[in-house]
Chain A
Amino acid sequence: MTITDRPVDNGVNVQALLGAREALSAAPEAAQFTWRASCTWRNGTHSHSTVAGFTGLGAEQQHRSTYEFDVDHPECFASEDNGATPVEFVLVGLVGCLTAGVASVAQHRGIQLRSVTATIEGEMNVLGILGADPGVRNGFEAITVRFVIDADASRDDLQALIAQSQKRSAVFDIVTNPTKVLVELA
């Protein structure tokens, strides 16, 4: 914990988050969220996804605007490269979630951040998705995230910061633990 003259401001409203935790513990049905995205095939490996609404706090909610994502594969896979690959979206999701966690935990612990950057890499042997080697899995063999953090805090405090952000991260949980997935024809 660092003591400074100015109040720590990482732009995170910790009081609102703590208030939400208390309120949702008392009304657990409001804590049940459903996140959604819709996807339309364009051509080849290119698809277009939108994210607009989600369900939570016992009601239908809307983002401030509809967010759009083009998903494709690169030219070395004989595709047109109209967007990032699906696995890169997973990396974006994970590093975005961990970075949000770093800011929130730092705010809660009174650590003023000056800058946070992160790189994320996922190792993958594509013989798996090509079906060329049954001993190779489709997904990442390993993911490495490297944070560079400039803040008024000791290295131990920063280690604790990134450890806690992993502990509270939804995407970290999704990629490290099994999740039931059901894909069906409407």
Chain B
Amino acid sequence: MHTTAVVIGAGHAGLAMSRRLTQRSIDHAVLERGEVAHSWRTQRWPSLRLLTPNWQTRLPGYHYAGDDPDGYMPVAEVVATLTRYARLVGAPVRTAATVHAVRAAPQGFQIHAGDDVLYARAVVLAAGACTLPAIPAFAGALPPTITALTPLTYRDPSQLPDGGTLVVGASATGVQLAEQIHRSGRPVTLAVGEHVRLPRTYRGRDIFWWLQATGLLAERYDQIDDLTRARHLPSPQLTGTPEATTTDLNALIAQGVRIVGRLGRITDGRAQFSGSLPNTCALADLKMNRFLNRADEWATASGLDDELPSPHRFAPTYVDPRTPLELDLTRGEITTVLWATGFRPDHSWLDIPVWDRTGRIRHDGGVVTGAPGLYVLGLPVLRTRASTYIHGAGPDSEVLAGHLHSFLSRRR
């Protein structure tokens, strides 16, 4: 079968792109390994909520119109929203069409999906940024008595054995699961490497309101000093609870979670943690305060100081001077290790040499380098800092659909 364009993945990014292509009358197919919003249905724990507030959850031709604009959308509602959106924009989704291979062909690309072979002049990769867990190589050294889980297989604490859990990684995922598991009566130790500390609300507004208002989310990829670093930052330590609570390390410590340094190695059944925890926390505190300074300066410049509560600062992260550097995983105190060490996309089916030396796709703001007609969408800081979040797919898909459109015109 021949079509002009193929979009791989029917999540928020793929559906936004489908809408943009339809608006430009570019005929296309959206290939989806499962159903619409597949990873939200099958690879996210059921109590997860979006980090972004509902008012920010927008896609081309859709904005939130419910009765809780300041709330955080539960994962089931994300699934329902994307499913409705796919119908709303008439996305030509082929479900259960797992892509096995994408190859270069004389007139563009050859795509093997399910039992079909498709030919397209342009391909948009929108298969998700969080498809595979990124687990350190030394995970293989875990003692066999330990239950190991990733966020993709975690559902709720009841699937864990009794006893202590070591949560490795202090991103949004790490802090959320640390809190949830600790509350279930399983004492949690949280191994903390480089992290991003942010309060849920500041001066009466959601932190994402500030991130948007100050222009931070709009910062373009080609204007960011250290783009590699920006694209690999852990997600901010935020939770979308109905009460809009802050889940920074101090909040977790107050609940009894034990904080240790970055997990550096597992040797002879012992987990060894970095002694750099005080500096790791100091860096995160400094970075948070730099952003709050920027927010306050922006508020003053915008004449909002009378309208908003006064500026204030949060307590520095507490680091216990007796923090252990080692934990014996064979003693029975820890029964579970949860690898909240990040995710990576799965592009293993892409049979076109577009990789950098670390195995990631080389691209310029979503235009894949050295493969005309190939695009990638829905990756962190793809075109702006907002690209990491659902609402970033709107502007990103507009630019890339425009590029794709002129690419097709040039070749006619």
Contact with B along A169-180 (1 / 0, CB 8 A): 000110111100
Contact A178-B276, Cβ < 8 Å, known A163-B283, A164-B283: no
Contact with A along B257-296 (1 / 0, CB 8 A): 0000110110100001011100100110010011000000
The main secondary structure of chain B at its interface with chain A is mixed
Q: Is the CB of A156 within 8 A of B275?
A: no
Chain B neighbourhood of A175, CB < 8 A: 275
Q: What is the distance, in angstroms, from A25's C-beta to the closest C-beta of chain B?
A: 8
Q: How many residues of B contact A (CB 8 A)?
A: 16
Contact with B along A147-171 (1 / 0, CB 8 A): 0000000001001100110110000
A28 on interface, CB distance cutoff 8 Å? yes
Q: How many residues of A contact B (CB 8 A)?
A: 14
7 A-B pairs, CB-CB below 8 angstroms?
A28-B357, A160-B290, A163-B286, A167-B279, A167-B283, A172-B279, A177-B262
Using A160-B286, A177-B276, A178-B267 as known contacts, list a sample of 4 further A-B pairs with CB atoms less than 8 Å apart, ordered by residue number in A: A156-B286, A163-B279, A167-B279, A177-B262
Q: What is the distance, in angstroms, from B208's C-beta to the closest C-beta of chain A?
A: 25
Contact A177-B282, Cβ < 8 Å, known A28-B357, A156-B289: no
Q: Is the CB of B264 within 8 A of A178?
A: yes
Q: Is the CB of B286 within 8 A of A176?
A: no
A175 to B274, CA, bound (A): 9
A164 to B279, CA, bound (A): 9
Contact A176-B274, Cβ < 8 Å, known A28-B357, A156-B289: yes
Chain B residues with a Cβ under 8 A of chain A: 261-262, 264-265, 267, 272, 274-276, 279, 282-283, 286, 289-290, 357
Q: Which of B265, B279, B357 interacts with A166 by CB under 8 Å?
A: B279
Q: Is the CB of B282 within 8 A of A159?
A: yes
A176 to B260, CA, bound (A): 13
Q: Which of A28, A167, A173, A176 interacts with B261 by CB under 8 Å?
A: A176
Chain B neighbourhood of A28, CB < 8 A: 357
Chain A neighbourhood of B261, CB < 8 A: 176
Q: Is the CB of B274 within 8 A of A177?
A: yes
Chain A neighbourhood of B272, CB < 8 A: 178
Chain A CB within 10 Å, residue with most, of B261, B265, B276, B357: B276
Chain A neighbourhood of B265, CB < 8 A: 177-178
Chain B neighbourhood of A172, CB < 8 A: 276, 279
A177 to B357, CA, bound (A): 25
Chain A neighbourhood of B283, CB < 8 A: 163-164, 167
A175 to B275, CA, bound (A): 8
Chain A CB within 10 Å, residue with most, of B267, B279, B289, B357: B279
Q: Is the CB of B282 within 8 A of A176?
A: no
A132 to B276, CA, bound (A): 29
Q: Which of A160, A164, A176 interacts with B275 by CB under 8 Å?
A: A176
A178 to B270, CA, bound (A): 12
